[in-house]
Structure 1
Amino acid sequence: MSSHDREHERDGDERDEGGGAPPGLRPVPETLEAQLAYAWRYIGGASGAILTTLPVAVFVAVNASFGLWHAIGMSVATSVLVGAVQLLRREPVGAAFVGLGGVLVSSAVAAIVGEARGYYLIGNVITAGISAILLISILVRRPLIGQVWAAANSQGTFWREDRTSLHYYDAATALWSLLAFARFAVQQWLYHLDETTWLGIARVAMGWPLTLVAVLATIWVVRRVDERRKSYETDHAHPPQ
């Protein structure tokens, strides 16, 4: 087989995997199995779930047994180790530094306020801010989930012109906002109760599991909008005579 034939065959395989998606558009998972696999990869798989929750789990365990300062030291050390593992696994450098930065800031706040619950304060504020931004994007008719997906996949603005597609993205954005607010509400309640151990448990339990749910729901929405996009483009490419 010639190199030209192999290249042609490879191009055909790529088109098949993408479901015939036009250049610049990412293929949308169609089967439930593919959607679960995509969502699981999105949150980093088993290793990603473990690595992102490990510093918090270490903080909770060490604080309960040895106190705040030991917990801060072990959490930072664990985060450095996690960052090193991510770099060795050739994961994006940004992910490693963002994770380490988050732990350092959280640890600094805990040290400043002199209380273990301060470790979770910045995370709660950021979560509340994310929920508010997502909600505002719906109110101004620019749902953030639609904006991000369309920008990443060169979908243009058809979804803002199609009321049904806009409502789909409204719903997806509202879900992300609701889940973020739920995290904030529960963790802020535990914060005021000074339930440090339960704060850590809630941070882990309401982290990647809820993100997985949100990603699966978003995939479903994107598939619906993608189907409407295809109909939209067909109608405009062949207008009625």
Structure 2
Amino acid sequence: MSEVRADRDDTAEAPGEDGAEKAKPRDAHDTVEAAVRAQLSKALGGVRGMLEAAAPVTAFTLTFVIVDEVKPAVFAGIGAAVVLLLVRVLQRSNPQFVLNSLVGIAIAAFFALRSGDAEDAFLPGILLNAAYAVGLTFSILVRWPAVGFIIGSVTGDPTAWRSDPGIVKLCSRLTWLLVLPCVLRVAVQYPIYVAAGDQSGLLGAAKIAMGWPLQVAGLAAMVWLLARGRTPIERPRT
């Protein structure tokens, strides 16, 4: 019996070069695809995070359409963000995504209140998407695709992934999937913004429709692309 127990112990352990068992980190991933899926989901905050980002804009737009005044619409948008923040605080959960939406609606409110034009509340979002599109595209063109740094955050080496052309190519494709929603938002919303007349209602509808639904579509495309491969992650030896 003692011999069987000893054999079982030998097969259960996987000693390293120094003879000690090296435990695998709880958040470790075996493949590049699994790591990117997990990190992207975390970055977007899941369904709740995306809904929290859309709620203040929705409150602002609906209030303005109903009352046709900027100030009540601004208060409604900020109020929605504050309520969501209080819920997060009471639940003792991560308020990061609510804070992001609160900062976003506050900047939009500043633009709208300064000019008195509700359309100006949507200008910061258009400019931000344009900046993201340019920055992400540049990262691809210089062969430092932004998604690649997700790999670096998992392996502990922020740049080692660049030595593998296959990983660089995968990260470039994934980064293009982040660029596309930004380009679409600018291509649709900017012409509406510069059009004659009050376009705030149409801008609000476009922003809501191209907000979290477009993020979900982009994430689904990424998951589909990632599900096709199993690129092993090479971690630096210690």
**Match for residue 165 of structure 2?**
163
Question: Partner of 1:87 in structure 2?
Answer: 89
Which position in structure 1 is the counterpart of 2:53? 52
Instruction: For 1:191 and 1:59, locate their aligned partners in 2 and report how far apart those are by CA, in whole Å.
Output: 16
Relative to 1, partners in 2 of residues 1:159 and 1:46: Cα closer, same or farther, differing over 3 Å?
closer
State how many pairs are aligned.
208
Partner of 2:203: 199
Normalised TM-score (structure 2):
0.74
Q: Which has the higher contact order (CA 8 A, sep 6+)?
A: 2
TM-score, normalization by structure 1:
0.73
Please show how residues 90-101 of structure 1 align to structure 2 within 5 Å.
90-101=92-103
Equivalent-residue separation in structure 2 for 1:164 and 1:28 (angstroms): 13
**For 1:196 and 1:140, how far apart are their aligned partners in 2?**
38
What is aligned with 2:232? 229
**Pair 1:152 & 2:159 matched:** no
Q: How far off its partner does 1:39 sit?
A: 7.4
The answer (yes or no) to whether the contact 2:55–2:80 under 8 Å persists in 1 is yes
Q: Any residues of structure 2 matched to 1:53-72 within 5 Å, and which?
A: 53-66=54-67, 67-72=69-74
| Shift of residue 45, structure 1, vs aligned partner | 4.7
- Hey, what does 1:26 align to over in structure 2? 29
Distance 1:45 1:161 in 2: 31
AA of the residue aligned to 1:160? R
Indicate conservation of the 8 Å contact 2:45/2:97, yes or no: no
Q: Distance in 1 between matches of 2:87 and 2:32?
A: 29
Which structure's CA Rg is the greater one? 2
Unpaired runs of at least 5, structure 1: 1-11, 13-20
**Aligned residue in 1 for 2:220:** 216
Match of 1:112, as an amino acid? R
**Which residue does 1:109 correspond to in 2?**
111
Paired residues of 2:52 and 2:97 also in contact (CA < 8 A)? no
**Could you say what the CA RMSD is over the residues aligned between the two structures, in angstroms?**
3.2
Percent of aligned pairs sharing the same letter: 28
Residue type matched to 2:29 in 1?
R
Per the alignment, do residues 72 and 115 of structure 1 end up closer, same or farther by CA in structure 2, a change over 3 Å counting? same
Deviation at 1:153, TM superposition (A): 0.7
Matched letter for residue 102 of structure 2: L
State the 1:215 CA deviation: 2.3
Which structure features the higher share of helix residues? 1
Q: Which runs of 5 or more structure 2 residues have no equivalent in the other structure?
A: 1-12, 14-22
1:41-77: CA deviations, max 9, x gaps? 7644554343322211111111112121211121111
